[in-house]
Amino acid sequence: MGSLRTQVGIVGAGPAGLLLGHLLHLNGIDTVVVEARSRDYVIDRVRAGVLEQGTVDLLVALGVSTGLCRAGLRHEGLYVTFDGRRHRIDLADLTGGKAITIYGQNEVVRDLIDARSATTRPLYFGAEGVSVHGLETSKPVLRFQHGGTDHEVHCDFIAGCDGSHGICRPSIPAGAQTVYERVYPFGWLGILAEAAPSSDELVYTYHERGFALFSMRSPRITRLYLQVPADEPIESWSDEAIWDEMLTRMTTRDGWRPNVGRILQKSVTPMRSFVAAPMRYGRLFLAGDSAHIVPPTGAKGLNLAASDVLVLTRALRAFYEQGRTEWLDEYSNVCVRRVWRAQRFSWWMTSTLHRFPNESAFDHQRQIADLDYLTSSRAAMTSLAEQYVGLPAEVSFESAGLQLHTASR
């Protein structure tokens, strides 16, 4: 049996766990990160790609932005299409210069793993039988097997950053949390295609056959999504059928359409909204998807994970540097407020842009009116823009110990 001692045991090496590990490292706080999957699996997992302004600023402040600055695509606007017409929303103009950046989550994860490796602090990939114990005590324990050996990590705190299917949230006794959930009657069929993006900015499309989203990962790779029925088997979609449907929904009256190319990867993702609160039980703190899921329409999931761990870092730093516990006590309240605002925005984007199986003619006309208002009112566009680029951070970078590490962009 290997026995270790650390200050914060982190379960999960997705964006939440890796960002937290690096934030705490910069504050001189020791961590052990335990990940169930292999390094390659974690890096190759294709997911989010839209980074809010605040997430970009955080990665820069952390000093892990070399790849982001080289390959990230800064977007100062986006398009909303309905009735075959594209309408541009100028995010930068409406928010005093803020923007989003397209940079794949897998690239963010790769950069953070490299940064972790450089610190030589422990990160176990391929851990099996991960479990957490003694959460109500001041010395919780993290157990797992790795390379045929049992390991036990004695911690001051455990951060549950193990996503929506992890073990941390289920380790909280029933009744200690309230769960809020909405499941949508559709999913997103997403593809990565070897095709140069035909638009410099994202295009959100409301079409009578359903929602579609044009996005990209690089100057050579397009990322596209289609609304499909929930639980749609990906095998039922040939590449030809996917392109037919993409072009039907996305081609606009002025002839704009995505470039077609070889499909490199395709999958169907279910859509749901989920919040488990409070995000703390004893010495266990949940962060990211382990506590909340948003439908991807608002592009908030990865960004919420970044926001959670910034708030948690402030609290842990105050504990270790000054023995203060009030920010640990406030952690869940501070995060949950932002989570609900992101939930509301993501629900609104989803409800406005998708077709629903049981919708009435009234519902359809109301959606069109919503989009008409959105694209013709500066006030409505400003509301979307400030939420899309990200509401102001809940806590300052300085309070999370980042003032000495701020890099220039």
Ligand X SMILES: Cc1cc2nc3c(=O)[nH]c(=O)nc-3n(C[C@H](O)[C@H](O)[C@H](O)COP(=O)(O)OP(=O)(O)OC[C@H]3O[C@@H](n4cnc5c(N)ncnc54)[C@H](O)[C@@H]3O)c2cc1C
Among this protein's residues, is 204 annotated catalytic? yes
Among this protein's residues, is 98 annotated catalytic? no
Among the candidate windows 163-171, 177-185, 191-199, 241-249, which touches ligand X by CB under 6 A?
163-171
Binding mask 230-249 for ligand X (x = CB under 6 A): --------------------
Position 101: which residue type? T
Tell which one of 20, 23, 26, 34 touches ligand X (CB under 6 A): 34
Binding mask 174-193 for ligand X (x = CB under 6 A): ----------------x---
Q: Does 210 bind ligand X (CB under 6 A)?
A: no
Q: Does 295 bind ligand X (CB under 6 A)?
A: no
Among this protein's residues, is 151 annotated catalytic? no
Q: Does 48 bind ligand X (CB under 6 A)?
A: yes
Among residues 79, 103, 225, 388, the one annotated as catalytic is 388
The CB-of-30 to ligand X minimum distance in angstroms stands at 19
Tell which one of 140, 160, 166, 295 touches ligand X (CB under 6 A): 166
The CB-of-165 to ligand X minimum distance in angstroms stands at 6
Among the candidate windows 58-66, 295-303, 365-373, 380-388, which touches ligand X by CB under 6 A?
295-303
The CB-of-98 to ligand X minimum distance in angstroms stands at 16
Query: Three-state SS string across the chain, please?
Result: CEEEECCEEEECCCHHHHHHHHHHHHCCCCEEEECCCCHHHHHHCCCCCEECHHHHHHHHHHCCCHHHHHHCEEECCEEEEECCEEEEECHHHHCCCCCEEECCHHHHHHHHHHHHHHHCCCEECCCEEEEEECCCCCCCEEEEEECCEEEEEECCEEEECCCCCCCCHHHCCCCCCEEEEEEEEEEEEEEEEECCCCCCCCEEEEECCEEEEEEEEECCEEEEEEEEECCCCHHHCCHHHHHHHHHHHHCCCCCCCCCCCEEEEEEEEEEEEEEEECCEECCEEECHHHCEECCHHHCCHHHHHHHHHHHHHHHHHHHHHHCCCHHHHHHHHHHHHHHHHHHHHHHHHHHHHCCCCCCCHHHHHHHHHHHHHHHHCHHHHHHHHHHHCCCCCCCCCHHHCCHHHCCCC
Among residues 22, 75, 292, 354, the one annotated as catalytic is 75
- Chain centroid to Cα 116, Å, comes to 20
Among residues 103, 124, 184, 204, the one annotated as catalytic is 204
Give whichever of 105 and 273 is closer to ligand X, judged by the CB atom: 105
Give whichever of 84 and 185 is closer to ligand X, judged by the CB atom: 185
Among this protein's residues, is 206 annotated catalytic? no
Q: Please, what is the angle between helix 53-62 and helix 301-322, to 10°?
A: 50
Q: Does 163 bind ligand X (CB under 6 A)?
A: yes
Q: Does 50 bind ligand X (CB under 6 A)?
A: yes
Q: Does 302 bind ligand X (CB under 6 A)?
A: yes
Tell which one of 16, 159, 213, 246 touches ligand X (CB under 6 A): 16
Tell which one of 167, 234, 380, 391 touches ligand X (CB under 6 A): 167
Binding site for ligand X (CB under 6 A): 11-17, 34-37, 42, 47-50, 105, 127, 130, 161-163, 165-167, 190, 269, 288-289, 296, 299-303, 305
Residues acting as catalytic residues: 75, 204, 296, 300, 388
